Structure 1
C-alpha cells in the first residue's frame, strides 16, 4: 500500500465522493493509502506541497491560476466539484427575486477559506448584467460571524455555502434562499493539484489510481439517493441536521455538482474569464497550460474497460 497524502483547504459536502471513496475502500483497491490533513490557515496547503509532506492539494483552481509564472507553477490533474456550492440568502420571501435586485444593496460574503465566494458572486453579477460596482460588499469576516450579523439586521443579502444556507433557513423563518448557485452552470470549483516540477511518471501513476478511486466514489454517490445513506451523512457531517444534508446532497446529485474527475473545458474557460475580470490574471489561461487531463482520462478508460463483458 502506497501512501498518498492529501492536504485540503476545508471539509465540505461538495467533497462527498472523496469521503465515500475513503470510507468504501475505493482508494485502497488501487493500492493507495490516502490520508487527509486540513491546515489552518487554509493556505498551508501550499506549504505542505512545498515541503513534500503532501502529494496533492485540494482547493480552488484560482490559486494555481494566479500563482502561475509568478510564484510557483502547479498542475491540476483532477476535479471533484463541477459546480459552485454557494447560495444567496435574503430576508423575507424569495418569491419574485431577480439578480438585478442586488444592485445598490449590501451583500455579505464569507471570505475565510479563500476568495472563491467573492470571486464567483461578482462574476455571477457581471454575467447577469449587474454592474458589480453598484453593489456594496462586506466580505472580510468569518462566515459564522457574518451569518449572525445578517440575521441580526446587517446587509440585504448573505452569500454562503449551500449547506449553511439551508441549515439557517431551517432554523430561521425570517430568511429564505433567493438563489442556489449549483444550478448556474459548470465551473471547476474544487480541483486537485501539485507543483509541476515535482511530477514524475511514478506520481502520474498514483494520480491515475487516485482518479480511479475518486471516479468510483462519484459514481457511487450518483447512483444512490441520499435518503439511502442518511446515516453515513450524519456520521460525516454531525453538526448539520441530517435532513438538510440529505436535501443538499440530492440537489447536488441532480444539478451536476459531480460529473467526472476531468476538468470541464467549458467550465474552465468560463472561470478563467471571471478570474481575468477580477484581475487575478491579465489574460485567461489556456486549458493545457494548467491542466493535465491524462490521469483522469486514463482512469475513466480503465473503469469503462472493466465494465465491458
Structure 2
C-alpha cells in the first residue's frame, strides 16, 4: 500500500500543461487522497515512454492524446480510454503584426511553424482545422520537427509566416513581444478529446475499474473547483504551478479555458470523439474512424459523476 495505507496510483503523462489544471488542483487539494488513492505522476523523456510505463505496469494509466491508442489499435496494442480531462484544443496561432481581420484562409500557401516535442497533436489538429474550413492543407509549407522553444525564437527572428504553439506559451510571447499577436485561440474551435487517460486493455481488472472510478470522482471535483472560481481568486496557486510563466498570463489563459469548455466532465465527449476520428483518418493514421465503444469505456466516469451528484444532493 502507499503512504498511510493509501492505494498507489501512478500516472505517466506526456507533458505538464495548463490544460491538465483540474488534475493538479485535485492533487494539491487532497481529492485523490479522499478516494483512498496515493496519486503520483511522472513525465518520461521522450514522451512515448508512457507506453513503456504501461507495459511494465509501473503506471496504472497514461495521460496524453487519444490519437496514440487510436492508431495503435489492431496494429500494435489495444488500449482502453476511460476518462478525459481536456475537451478543447489548447493551441494558439501566432502571426506578426496585428491580428485584426485575420481569417484562416490567410494561411493558404504560407509557411507555418508547428510546435513539436510532445507528439503529433499540434500538426494533426491544425491540418484538420484547415481541411474543415475548405483550405488545402497540402498547399501549406510546414516546419514541425523542431522543439517549441527553438521554433518560437526562430519565428520571432523572421522564420515562417505563422507559429502554432500552446496557448500559454503564445500568451507569454505576446506579453514579451509587441511585434507578434495571437490570430486565433484554438480553444474556440469546437469540442475534441485533446487529453485522455488510457491503459492496456488486457490488464484491466475489476480492481482497476474501481480505482478508475475513484480517480474520476477526484477529477470531477477538480474540474468543478476550477470551473466554480475566477482564476484571479487562485492566482497564487497558478504562480506555484507554472512558475516560468507570468502569473497574469496564467490567469488569463485559465479564464479563457474556463469560458470555452476546456473542462466539462471526465467523460469523453462523443461528438468531439467522432470529429477527431475523422481528422485522424484524413491524416492517414487510421484506415477508418473508430467507433466510440471500440476504444472508450465510459463506465468509470459515468459512475463517478453519479457518485458526485449523490454526494451533492446529500449535503
Give the structure-1-normalised TM-score: 1.00
* CA-CA distance at 1:23 after TM superposition: 0.2
1:162 counterpart (167, 184, 189): 167
1:34 counterpart (36, 39, 44): 39
For 1:289, the equivalent position in structure 2 comes to 294
- 1:208 paired to 2:207: no
Matches of 2:84 and 2:78 in 1, distance apart? 18
For 2:185, the equivalent position in structure 1 comes to 180
The unaligned stretches of length 5 or more in structure 1 are none
Give the structure-2-normalised TM-score: 0.98
For 2:276, the equivalent position in structure 1 comes to 271
Q: Deviations over 1:53-75 (max 9, x none)?
A: 00000000000000001000000
For 2:309, the equivalent position in structure 1 comes to 304
Q: Deviations over 1:201-260 (max 9, x none)?
A: 000000000000000000000001100000000000000000000000000000000000
Q: Deviations over 1:108-132 (max 9, x none)?
A: 0011110000000000000111000
Matches of 1:176 and 1:115 in 2, distance apart? 24
Matches of 1:308 and 1:217 in 2, distance apart? 18
Matches of 1:234 and 1:13 in 2, distance apart? 12
For 2:3, the equivalent position in structure 1 comes to none
For 2:255, the equivalent position in structure 1 comes to 250
* CA-CA distance at 1:159 after TM superposition: 0.1
2:239 counterpart (215, 234, 243): 234
Two-structure CA RMSD over aligned residues (Å): 0.4
For 1:91, the equivalent position in structure 2 comes to 96
* CA-CA distance at 1:306 after TM superposition: 1.0
Matches of 2:308 and 2:222 in 1, distance apart? 12
For 1:72, the equivalent position in structure 2 comes to 77
Number of equivalenced pairs = 309
